[in-house]
Chains A and B, each alone.
Chain A
Amino acid sequence: MSETRLIEVRRNVFKKNDLLARELRARYRDAGTRVISLVSSPGSGKTAFLERTLTELRGRFRVAALVGDLATDNDAARLARTQVPVKQITTGTVCHLDAEMVQDALEEWTLSDLDFLFIENVGNLVCPSSYDLGESLRAVLMSVTEGEDKPRKYPTIFHSADVAIITKIDLADAVEFDRAAARASIEAVRPGMKVLEVSARTGAGMPEWLAEIER
């Protein structure tokens, strides 16, 4: 029987994506484009929130959006109503966006024509956490209908994000949403994380969100 031996490698498996994300980050910076990504579970209101955000920004800034889904271009069609450039990335069976998909989607756009680029990730609280897209801000969304302990159940994605946004806050009373418990859950996973409460329907909390991204 032949002998075996170990050769040490120490190679980061996400290296390819991380390198590409670093390149993208440099491109965004050189173009002066602020890139913000949104992650959440399906149905937490990412698209409604993004629609409202695009509508409120478009008069003052040059904005565009990329939206990821496994199938359909429903979200892109919906966001197109805001009259800003929108492109759908359909991932097929892949449960997250990666830096290469973003790079490909950006091919026809001139970044320096954009002040803000929004990237709506595939609705998923697990996989997107491992993939850096070069964004300067990652917002994780959770809606009041999902339960206050989402952050504790999915710590990795909350840990990878910069700001937490509690959506559908206009429904908080109807579903007896416990704000303090939700905030404690976020704080337990990512101490000091900024938390915003918004409603895309009523516009509550939108000024705070816009102030956060326009800084």
Chain B
Amino acid sequence: MHELSIAVSIVDAVCEELQRRGDPRLIAVHLTMGALSGVVKESLLFAYDAACEGTPLAGTQLVIEETPGEEFLVTALEIEDERDAAD
């Protein structure tokens, strides 16, 4: 299960980023996936939910943008706006 270990890497990376930003409430993770990265989108989406279980990412969405090339990046985190949440 290659995609599962990749999903776990995504979860680890995002957890670090969230911590560094004061643990905002995460809605979605945006990912850029190169066609040459060797990762299968459907398998990754499936593995993502499994990898998120029991982590601060549980229930969040993975939004994948497919591109040519080899890059495989978490491009952005969609979070709940704190200003609004404070109301």
Query: Could you tell me which A residues sit within 8 Å of B by CB distance?
Result: 2-17, 93-96, 98, 126-127, 129-130, 155-157, 159
- Contact residues, B72-86 vs A (CB, 8 A): 72-81, 83-85
Contacts of A2 in B (CB 8 A): 80-81, 84-85
Bound-state Cα–Cα, A204 to B67, Å: 42
B52 partner residues in chain A, CB cutoff 8 A? none
Q: Residue of A at shortest CB range from B36?
A: A156
Chain B residues with CB under 8 Å of A127's CB are 2, 38
Task: Name A94's contact: one of B5, B28, B75 (CB within 8 Å).
Answer: B5
Chain A residues with CB below 8 A from B2, complex form: 94-96, 126-127, 130
**Residues of B near any A CB (own CB < 8 A):** 1-2, 5-6, 9-10, 12-13, 17, 21, 27-28, 30-31, 36-39, 71-81, 83-85
- A-side binding surface: helix, strand, loop or mixed? mixed
Contact (Cβ within 8 A) A7 B1: no
B10:A3 contact, CB within 8 angstroms: no
A8 with B76: CB separation less than 8 A: yes
A126 and B84 form a contact (CB under 8 A): no
Query: A130, B76: Cβ atoms under 8 Å?
Result: no
Give the CA-CA distance A93 to B1 in the complex, in Å.
7
List B contacts of A4 (CB < 8 A): 27-28, 78-81
The answer on a CB contact under 8 Å between B77 and A7 is: yes
16 A-B pairs (CB sep. < 8 Å): A4-B28, A5-B78, A6-B30, A7-B76, A7-B77, A7-B79, A12-B71, A12-B73, A13-B74, A14-B72, A95-B2, A127-B2, A130-B37, A130-B38, A156-B36, A157-B38
Closest CB in chain A relative to B38 CB, distance in Å: 4
Contact B74–A3 (Cβ < 8 Å)? no
Q: Known contacts A14-B72, A126-B2: does B36 contact A7 (CB below 8 Å)?
A: no
Measured CB to CB, the nearest residue on chain A to B34 is A156
* CB <8 Å contact, A9 and B76: yes
A5 in contact with B74 given A15-B13, A95-B1, A127-B38 (CB within 8 Å): no
